[in-house]
Chains A and B, each alone.
Chain A
Amino acid sequence: MRIRRIMVVAGVLLIAAGADAQEEAGKAAATQRDVPRTAAAAIPDIPLVNQIDFGIRGTSFGSGSDPARYQRYRDLRDGGTIDHLRIFKDTDTHRYNLQADNVGYRDQRFSASYMNYGKVKASFEWNQIPLFYSQTTSTLYDQSVPGQLTLADSIQSGIQNRTLTLASALGGASVFDLRTRRDVADFSLTYSANNNVDVNLTFRNTQKTGAYPWGGSFGISNAIATELPVPVDHRTTEFGTNLEYANDRGFARIGYDGSLFRNTVTTLTWDNPSRVADSPTAGPAQGRMALWPDTEMHTVSGAGGLNLPGGSHATAFLSVSSLTNNNPLLPYTINSALVSPGLDRADSDVSARVTAMNYAFTSRPVATLWFSARYRQYEFDNRTVPFETHDSVNYDTTLVALNKESEPFGSTRHTFDADASFTPVRHVGFRAGYTREDVDRTLRIVEKTTEDIARASVDLTGLSWLTVRGVYEHSKRVGSAVNGLELLAIGEQPLLRQYDISDRNQNRFNAIAQITPLSSFSVNVSAGIGTQEYPNTYFGLRNNDNHVYSLGFDYVPSNNISLGASYGYEKYTALQASRTANPLPANTEAFLNDPTQQFNDPRRDWTDDSADRVRTIDVSMDLIKLLRKTDIKFAYDYSRAQSTYTYGLAANTVIATPVQLSPVVNELQRGTIDGLYFITRRLAVGLAYWFDKYKVDDFALGPVESLAQPATATPTLMMLGYFYRPYTANTVTARLTVLW
């Protein structure tokens, strides 16, 4: 705490010093300005910068294609298009810019900006980002009331009384489009009060609407887990302002940022397909869960910097944030046949205080040497009073004695970086650096970790024919002692280590080279190798490696021709370990050394060796006016990813040999040809053809015949039909381009 206070005081002093220095320098600058301001001459030879495209587009899909995945973040419906509107006006004093893309479609975007040079800079953007999940999803639920998904009583009673099967009921499911859309309105304004002072205002509102797949369950055994189209209707409003002062001696900034998250649908109730009436033993007629709560975040920040002698710079940043989540709590259960236990408190009453600071010092006392040191502290002080639960209700189904309290996780992260570089000649820089990160956590099994990171890099830049960059980093993270009994108390193996906080040794090497033997031809090659080992992990993630390589070239023989190609290969591997076993009686320590307990039997261990292999190919060629009045662009992208999961058992295993999973394959291809013929300087006609193909094979997300799974008399999963499906799409767009 004392160190933190010292750092806060140091930061405030540095910021204040920066402001003071700038005030003095500002006065000096006002009297020393050596050149009066005048208007420049008119801009000559303005190219045709204004444009609009009118087009018509159509897509044909191959058999069995999924149009939704093809349009996942886009809206490529057939029809007329107005696209690529660009209106630009530039004078000696002002600049206006108006843009519109995909007008009238779900992914439309509009933007406008205005500049009064040296005085005002303003911009506004309206951007719609769709996310199209599926147009073949179907559900038995009535979605007419947001947040209340209901089934016909006849379905519930039929399934409960076994006069109706879920599979046959699903024959009457209604098909609907599953999609969300994010509408983002973004406004920013900068007012330059004088040569040194800027006032910045920002406002952004994000509205997200639609529905996405969600899960609801009524228990582990014999209950039907249900995929639901959960309604989405929430808004995030962010606003901020800051005052910034800068001159040649430094800068100072003070600001405020606010973020309000408001959810229209904070509760979801959904009918239980297998029960029409609440029961104290067989489950409820419906379930209820809390969706995203309304939250707020308010941040006050200050920053300052000083340019010091010896080519040195010092900067300080300090911010304090308040996060709150204070919403009425739902009762433990909606099941009227159970007596819902009393709540510890009526509202969530969750809050946290975040203090972040960042102090940096860099120095370049001579041209060949450069030093940098940075200290960063981030404290997430979770001030929530733990919520005590004596009795709870599982799945709205079962009353249980829990006697637990919530765990308001918090942490404080201290990071110190020091780097030094040596540039003996202009083009070559050698750097060595060290980072120390200490993290103190509350309520995690590892309460403190310390990570030491050493790194070295070499950068050869500035030569016209060769650029080489390489970096090697080694790090070692060590955590405080783990009390295995705490893990046992929650039913976990005492030798489990959670990879996000466990001991870890990490090596990382990255290198990239670009060779340009001719001004028109360059070759680039890159390699990245990373290894992570978790040395004290018996259960959990033991290692995690990656190998990434790429090779490419660019060839621009003339102003009319440019072409390039690249190939990339990635391999990610990981090994994790577990033990399939029944729990110890009451999770008690007394049985921990009992060899008769499955829990203690290493013959029940298993590992999962996973590997992702990805190959990426990109090819492109632009022919600009190679043919008279014609621009033609070709591009082809290919990405094939294959993931394998291979189970391994102990040599003397007593568990059944697993049936290995089939690989997960995702293969994306996209080829485009885009031609534009200029009838006149201001008018062109264009024709574009896109070929898109997606192949997928996923053991868990692939299509199944029945949405009631397994397809037996007692299904345990009612699906929506949001599957990973392939597509083959051929899209043609004809367009008229007008330029002025």
Chain B
Amino acid sequence: MNLGGNRLRLRVVLGLFALAWVTAVVVSAAGRPAPAQSAVSQGASAGSAASSPSAQAGGFVGDDTCIACHESEGKTLRGTLHGKAQNARTPAAKTGQACESCHGPGQAHVDTGDKTKIKVFTAMSPKDANSTCLTCHSKGSHAQWNGGMHDARNVACVTCHSVHSAKSERGQLKTVMAVETCQACHKQEAMKVKKSGHMPVREGKMDCTSCHTPHGSTNVRMLKVGNTLNETCASCHAEKRGPFLHDHAAGRENCASCHDPHGSNNDRMLIAKEPMLCQRCHVSSRHPATIYDGTQIAAASNRAVGRSCVNCHSQIHGSNHPAGGMFLR
């Protein structure tokens, strides 16, 4: 591919992107109401019927009115962190307006009984619903929600979380375990975890959030720690972090070049069995280019059986030995 052509293409895409954005901002600015003052109303984003000026014009009715009909929701809210009035950041801190802090002013809904006159998050578009949650959940990993993969794919906060009927011990998830929530969409990863080579996820010692942050991150693949996949891996496997006197180039490039962290059919969660894995990059003369077939196995070649290549190249992640260039010491 012509690199110069790539640059041109990049500029064209950038230009189109900027043009589209500016156009959309200008178009939207023409009909935009004055900015709202409170955090909650500011969080209610454009496009939501429930948060439109007409829907909010009716004013607040107070919790007692809401709970008169929605008794169970009122009870469950008080048992959650959202219901702790001492925390000034919670909806409950607004006296009598815990429900409407999130669901918006309810007068119109009360007056008409119309369910479209109140914010029902499961019936809203994901981005509208999320903007309400993000009004308060703006720190930590939530600060990176916008533009993250789940934001891009229209995942709603209420896809995974439930304020009123959570089942998990932490995080108010809709399922008991975080893994169950994630595998609803991430089927392939869930199946990999069940392979013979896996991390202790099935055993309950880790879960998806041990490595990933579903709310967004500055790292790739929504990884929780560091700025690259390698930095995430090294947060638990610090011994392999290096840098070493002699680094293995493939390892420095990406741990996932050789390992599948979700699980594999191979020892040490390698993406292929040794020696075949190593032979994908090493075809040099003598033993790296040998066919390790049934004859070699029958002869118990020490380059094929047991730990295969790392029977000798044990320092494959890197060596601090002066003679460790081939990772033998």
Contacts and interface: CB of A to CB of B under 8 A. Distances in A.
Interface in B292-325: 293-295, 297-302, 304-308, 310-315, 319-325
Contacts of B3: 450, 478
B9 A452 contact: yes
Nearest to A709: B300
A443 B152 CA distance: 37
A420 interface: yes
Nearest to B85: A40
B323 A568 contact: no
Interface string B47-89: 1100000000000000000000000000100110101111111
A382 interface: yes
For A73, A384, A550, which residue has the most chain B Cβ atoms within 10 angstroms?
Answer: A73
Contact of A658 (B86, B97, B293): B293
Given A700-B297, A709-B300, A364 B45 contact: yes
A10 to B, nearest CB: 15
Contacts of B246: 387, 406-407
Contact of A371 (B20, B311, B313): B20
Given A198-B139, A293-B320, A315-B143, A580 B290 contact: yes
Interface string B1-41: 10100100110011001001100110111000000011100
Chain B's interface: helix, strand, loop or mixed, by majority? loop
B285 A582 contact: yes
A548 B187 contact: yes
Chain A's interface: helix, strand, loop or mixed, by majority? strand
A364 B127 contact: yes
Contacts of A35: 93-97
A694 B200 CA distance: 16
B270 to A, nearest CB: 11
Contact of B78 (A41, A343, A580): A41
Interface in A477-502: 478, 490-493, 496, 498-501
Contact of A329 (B254, B285, B322): B322
A459 B195 CA distance: 30
A36 B95 contact: yes
Contact of B21 (A72, A371, A452, A491): A371
B24 A365 contact: yes
A330 to B, nearest CB: 6
A581 B289 contact: yes
Contact of A409 (B46, B128, B247, B326): B247
Contact of A37 (B93, B235, B301): B93
Contacts of A643: 265-266, 273
A434 B294 CA distance: 46
B243 A323 contact: yes
A352 interface: yes
B95 A539 contact: no
Contact of B46 (A213, A311, A641, A660): A311
Contact of A666 (B151, B188, B196): B196
Interface string A653-669: 00100111110101010
A541 B156 contact: no
Contacts of A373: 17, 147
A578 B24 contact: no
A497 to B, nearest CB: 9
A34 B38 contact: yes
A528 B188 contact: yes
Nearest to B188: A548
Contacts of A429: 126, 153-154
For A46, A90, A441, which residue has the most chain B Cβ atoms within 10 angstroms?
Answer: A90
A634 to B, nearest CB: 16
Contacts of A584: 285
Contacts of A372: 146-147, 151-152
B115 interface: no
A625 interface: no
Given A500-B253, A576-B280, A668-B196, A581 B285 contact: yes
Given A364-B45, A719-B306, A492 B146 contact: no
Contact of B302 (A73, A394, A660, A716): A716
A498 B87 contact: no
A263 interface: yes
A3 interface: no
Contacts of B97: 35
Interface stretch (A271-279, A354-362, A680-688): A354-362
Contacts of A323: 241-243
Nearest to A696: B196
Contacts of A444: 249, 253
Interface stretch (B102-110, B117-125, B160-168): B117-125
B188 A92 contact: no
A443 B196 CA distance: 36
Given A92-B85, A310-B24, A236 B238 contact: yes
A453 to B, nearest CB: 12
A170 B290 CA distance: 30
A461 B159 contact: yes
Given A303-B143, A423-B125, A476-B1, A74 B203 contact: yes
A608 interface: yes
Contact of B311 (A215, A423, A637, A664): A215
Interface in A342-372: 343-344, 348, 350-352, 354, 356, 358, 360-372
A476 B1 CA distance: 9
B32 to A, nearest CB: 8
Contacts of B90: 117-118
Nearest to B121: A462
B312 A641 contact: no
Nearest to A405: B325
B196 A641 contact: yes
Contact of B24 (A43, A363, A413, A457): A363
A610 B28 contact: no
Contacts of A459: 153-154
A290 interface: yes
Given A244-B139, A498-B250, A719-B306, A45 B75 contact: yes
A287 to B, nearest CB: 8
A570 interface: yes
B91 to A, nearest CB: 10
Contact of A311 (B45, B125, B159, B204): B45
Nearest to B143: A251
Contact of B39 (A244, A248, A348, A406): A248
A318 to B, nearest CB: 10
B283 A492 contact: yes
A666 B195 contact: yes
B138 interface: yes
B85 A717 contact: no
Contacts of A608: 276, 279
Contacts of B286: 582-583
A596 B171 CA distance: 68
B325 A389 contact: yes
B206 to A, nearest CB: 8
Interface in B153-203: 153-156, 159, 184-185, 187-188, 191-192, 194-196, 200, 203
Contacts of B20: 369, 371, 420
Interface string A537-573: 0011100000010100000000000000000101000
30 contacts: A40-B84, A92-B84, A116-B86, A118-B88, A195-B89, A248-B39, A305-B143, A310-B25, A325-B242, A325-B320, A330-B321, A343-B322, A356-B218, A363-B24, A365-B21, A408-B243, A429-B126, A443-B249, A452-B9, A459-B153, A462-B125, A490-B284, A498-B281, A500-B254, A550-B191, A577-B283, A608-B279, A639-B194, A701-B267, A717-B306
Given A327-B320, A350-B242, A367-B45, 19 more contacts: A118-B93, A215-B310, A215-B313, A238-B235, A248-B138, A313-B147, A332-B323, A367-B48, A371-B20, A429-B126, A431-B152, A500-B281, A512-B185, A583-B286, A616-B194, A641-B265, A643-B265, A659-B294, A716-B301
A-B CB proximity, top 6 nearest: A367-B47, A659-B294, A118-B87, A583-B285, A658-B293, A73-B200
